Amino acid sequence: MNAQFKRGIIELLVLKTVKDQEKSAFEVIETIGASIDVNENTIYPILRRLTTQGYFEVKKEASAIGAPRKVYSVTSKGKEKLETFLEEWESFLAQVLKILGGQHVK
């Protein structure tokens, strides 16, 4: 799969994962990584970019070991972005499946 395309999809997954429940970066990686081959070198830059763009708020929580951990939550702007992203994804997917004859490709 094209790396740029995969990063865009992973951005959608990061937004959706954090919208469902606030999470640390490790928890985001663990949640997405349970279904898709992804690593921290992909997730951390996405979290930083989405935070800079105002889609996430970050708070620090005390950690039993080491430095405080950052916990991400979706802002109202992030929720709007996610809804737009989901609409675009569903439209794109429907068009691709139409071209492929409605069949899923494995």
**Tell me, what's the pLDDT at 29?**
94
**Residue 104 pLDDT exceeds 70:** no
**Residue 63 pLDDT exceeds 90:** no
Domain that holds residue 82: 3-99
Torsion of CA 45, 49, 55, 61, to 10 degrees: 50
> Is residue 17 included in any domain, yes or no?
yes
Radius of gyration of the chain (CA): 15
- What's the domain count of the chain? 1
**What is this structure's pTM?**
0.82
CATH number at residue 48: 1.10.10.10
Angle at 28 between CA 24 and CA 32, to 5 degrees: 170
